[in-house]
Structure 1
Amino acid sequence: MARWGGLAVLPVMAAPAEYGVHLQARIQPLMTGVGPVEAAVALTAALGRMAADGALPDLIVSLGSCGSRTLEHAAVYQASSVRYRDMDASPLGFEKGVTPLSDLPALLPLPCPIPGVRCASLSTGGAVISGAAYDAIEAEMVDMETWALLRSAQSFGVPLIALRGVSDGRAELKALEDWTSTLHHVDQNLAVALDALIARLEADGLAALEISADHGLDPAHLLAPDSTA
């Protein structure tokens, strides 16, 4: 864990390919693996061990790449909200994205504390989105981990910030290189955003994470029912 502004912060990433030299000079993240299942399992296991030791982080920062058909290529954005696009119980009468028999809405807000870093909405799912598949996506960005990471963090009462750099989306993906070819630019831009986040946390602490009322959801509702945080 890192310590920024007196806070214990756990950086989290999915894949070593996204962890370039600029981030390597700043953080040693928990690597979860790719996709919502791997992300949830790895983070929950890590937080469980930390909770047992009485050493939960004050904040989790998720960093990585994303796809977007509309946003600036290689630029970094703060995720202002996240949806779980794989959840669809609409045949049972539930809104698409709503987990049945839970109190969770389809969209969960996220804090955007970094001045000068643009915010965008995010959609998480287990499939790589490319080409015409974007037509079914409501959000501006797509990834494969953030919703799962957020739900894990919420179960321990720990806030989470998600920073995503756009690695693909302009053209249809046909090979692994179509994703990895931009990651060195994403790494550099994530490091710049991370420096700005560290400065904000050092100045304001956790108060920087306050979610504004225009998100339309009381942040208290985001904690798991058994959370004491």
Structure 2
Amino acid sequence: MLARDWYYNERSRIGLDNAVASICGAADDADLRARAALKMLGVKPGWRVADIGCGNGVLACEAALIGAEVDAIDISPAMLALAELYTRDRRAAVRTQSAGLLSFAYEPNSYDLIVSEFTLHHLPDFWKAVALARIFAALKPGANFFLRDIVYVGVPDGTERSIEQWADFAIKNHDFSRDSVITHMRDENSTFAWVMERLLTEAGFTLISTDYHAPLHGTYLLQKPAEQG
């Protein structure tokens, strides 16, 4: 086995990103949004589902209540503890795993659906590719991967818009504090939307749909191609 002293330390990113916290915080309608997403994804009883970067566990819980067999995965001990409390209160049978995109345990071709929301941007692009390859391997042929993340939909224009003006535009089009956006741009690893799409397709996924409905927000529905007979 290769030595791991060079391996990216996912745990070093815990607690850095306030911009994501402002998206994923205590939204009153989080359970309704999770149900809508799971309905759109066609989740059925008996499916094996993984939520990587599960946060407070709302989506994992709702999937379990549908009857799916759910793995709620998060590298943050605090988030995983919240997920365990939330699912216990809702009496939802969910397995938790203290791991990240580069370390979650899986059997190849085992999941009917993998979801990851606002987690992939913690990794530099090389490690994003490694994570996507692991997700691809974990999915059954024909299964879907649902990804939401902070991405840069627009490109700073050096002749017409300074980086400060570009940041201000992003801030004004979101309900983010200036400090949270500055922290994200300085310390996190969000990438451009066109780079994200290339990373996803290079991993082997078929891009079913994309939605860039805000300057820093991308939603992707992807599919692992079915095995060819």
TM over 0.5: no
Alignment TM-score, normalising by the size of structure 2: 0.29
Query: Which one has the largest radius of gyration?
Result: 2
Higher helix share: 2
Alignment TM-score, normalising by the size of structure 1: 0.29
